[in-house]
Every structure is written in structure tokens, then in C-alpha cells.
Amino acid sequence: MKTIHIENQNSTIYIGESYKNIGKYLPKKKCFLVCDENIYQHYSTFIDQFQHIVIGCGESNKNWSSIELIVNKLLEMGADRNSFLLGMGGGLVCDISGFVASVFMRGLEFGFISTSLLSQVDASVGGKNGINFGKLKNMIGVFNPPNFVLCDPVLLKTLPKREVRSGFGEVIKHAFIKDASLFDYLKNNRNNLLNLNPDRLEDLIYRAVSIKTEVVNNDPFEKGERKKLNFGHTIGHAIENNSDLTHGEAVAVGMILASKLSQEICGLTELNVTEIQCLLKTYELPITHNVSAEIINEFLIKDKKKNQDSIDFILLRKIGEACIQNISIADLKNKVERLCAVPNKESI
């Protein structure tokens, strides 16, 4: 097992620890567990040890209705301000349970058992909790770190292959923005990682979480450097909300488009652009999309990173080095129209 502590959030990530050992990390409080239907189906014997709340699966459930359901159940089961909330699931469950814990009776302590690759390397780490508002991702939320995140690679064995690949979209993002050696590691260990070799996975999760932890320690509230973690997300969110792509798949496409803008604005080399495309394809992630420039641009003006008539857009100078570029909305819209006008030769 490997341990990472986020100093300025007093939050600890345990990588390689068995979820069955959760009792070691729970405070002596009444504990309520939140999971979704899929997780309950796979781990009902474990979950039935707790008073628990089961919500629906999928992004459509990341909304006020799920918040109401959880709050009502907590009240029915006698939760109070001294209770502890444990989220067991992927990014959706962690986001929702963290948000409820942050606002229920003005705040409960909480922690996560993270069950998806995307959640273990990104979504459950760093203290962001929130819900969608209509089609706008994570528009309502808070910064509030969990006491702990438990990342057990064994839990990934029940994931559909597509969800595993989606998680690699976020892992690869970490390599692109901060760590060229992680980029090489991903290239050299493709088969072991896609086949969920536990030793390789534990090492990979540790490396990815270490990158995010360093960024979050420097910028807990996303005022500067933490914005770099949004590489591929600005356009990716628009594509995700208007297609059948998963989050990691849409981010992969967003990174392709951002790399092309990086070539134009920051001098990213043609070789690096090609290497980025090749690595994403190696992990069976899409690199093209069918969402119109008009729809993408509608979402850009509602992006959380927008500041009046401009937006902080994340680009690359080279693989392993990201930068924040303030681009006017009008200019970015023109660039999106031009990028989307290039015929897609590959289908998603």
C-alpha cells in the first residue's frame, strides 16, 4: 500500500488498500454509506453492513433529485451533525456524496471508497464536489476535501472495459500536463495496464495522484496552477454533453483539439501532436467527434473558467508542460469553427 497526504486539505489517499479494511479509517461515529445500483449489485454483502442509500447510475442522476433522495433518507435513518458519510462508487457517487456531506446540517465528515479508475486518479481526489445543472457539468458545487480516499485496484475488475478506457483518458491527461516520464510509462506498459495488472495499476494510480496532489497543494481553490488539470475539458465537456461519449472519451477528443490549438498558439511541435494522438489511440480512446462548432460554442460561454469576455484555456508547450492561455471568447469561437471544419477521417 502507498499513502499520499494532501497537506493543505488534511486529506489522505490510500492506494492499494483493500476496501474490506475500511473499518481502520472510519471514525467512531454513526456511518451512512452512499452507492449506486451497479456498486450495490457487485458488493451488496459488504454494503449491507452499513445503513446505506442506493442512487441511480449514470450522469443523468448527478442532479438535485439525487441530493433530495439522499437527504431524505439520511433524515429518515436518524443522521445528525456527528454522523459520517461514506461514498462508495465512481466519480458520480463521490461528487454527490461529497456535496451532500458538505451541506447536510452545515457539514458532515466524509470519505470515499473509490471504485473506478477515473475516480481513483482524479475525480475523488482534491476536494471538488458537485452536481450538474441541466447539461452544464459540475455547475453547482463546493471545495471540501474528504477525510480519506481508499483506492483499491481490485475494485476495477468489475468495471466494463469501456469505463476502464475512459479512466485512462484522465491518467493520460496528467502525463500531458505535468510528467513526460509518465507519458513514457504509459507507452511502455500498455498491455499490463489495460489488462489491469494490480502491481502496474497501483504504481500508475500513485503516480497520477502524486501529480494531482502536488497541484492541489499549490492551488487548492483553482485560482492558478490547478486550472491546468482542465486540459481537454473545456471543449471535452461540450462534446460529452452532446454525444454518447463517456467523460474520459470526450476529454480525449478535447485534448486532441487543445493540442492542435497548442501547436498554433504555444509552439507545440508536430511530432508532439502526433505522439499525443498515438497514445490516445493506443488506449483505444477516440480522437474525433461529430459535435458541431455551433453547439460547442454555446457551451463555451457558460464554462466555469470564463471571465467576462475571455476564458482561461489550457494548452501545452510540450508533452509534460502545460500553460494557461487567456483567450477571448470571440477568438476561441473562431478557432473552434475552424477546427471543426476539418473533415474527420476517423469515426468515434
Residues 273, 152 share a domain: no
pLDDT of residue 305: 75
Parent domain of 207: 165-341
| pLDDT confidence band for 342 (50 / 70 / 90) | low
Would residue 277 count as lying in a domain?
yes
What share of the chain in percent tops pLDDT 70?
98
- Give the lowest-confidence range in 90-99, 172-181, 301-310, 313-322: 301-310
What pLDDT score was predicted for residue 268?
A: 98
**Within this chain, do residues 103 and 250 fall inside the same structural domain, yes or no?**
no
- pLDDT digit string, tens, across residues 198-210: 899 999 999 999 9
Q: Are residues 138 and 270 in the same domain?
A: no
Please state the rounded mean pLDDT for residues 173-195. Answer: 97
Mean of the per-residue pLDDT values for the chain?
94
Length, in residues, of the chain: 348
The answer on 172 and 151 residing in a single domain is no
Q: Which of 132, 158, 184 is the last residue of a domain?
A: 158
| Dihedral in degrees, nearest 10, Cα atoms 211, 213, 217, 221 | 100
292 shares a domain with 172: yes
pLDDT at 348 over 50: no
Say yes or no: 220 and 313 in one domain: yes
> What is the edge-to-edge ordering of all strands in the sheet holding 2-6?
2-6, 11-15, 148-151, 109-114, 84-89, 31-36, 51-55
Q: Let me know if residue 150 belongs to a domain.
A: yes
pTM, full prediction: 0.91
Residue that finishes a domain, picked among 135, 158, 181? 158
Residue 316 lies in a domain: yes
Evaluate whether residue 346 is within a structural domain: no
How far apart are alpha carbons 28 and 25 in whole angstroms? 10
Of 114, 130, 158, the one marking the end of a domain is 158
Kind plus residue range of the DSSP H or E element containing 323: strand 321-328
Confidence at residue 303, expressed as pLDDT on a 0 to 100 scale: 81
Rg (CA), the chain: 20
CATH number of the domain to which 106 belongs: 3.40.50.1970
* CATH code of 193's domain: 1.20.1090.10
Paired with 325 in beta bridges are: 313
pLDDT for res 343: 54
Q: How many domains does the chain have?
A: 2
Q: What is the pLDDT of residue 128?
A: 94
List residues bridging with 143 in a β-sheet.
128
Residue 69 lies in a domain: yes
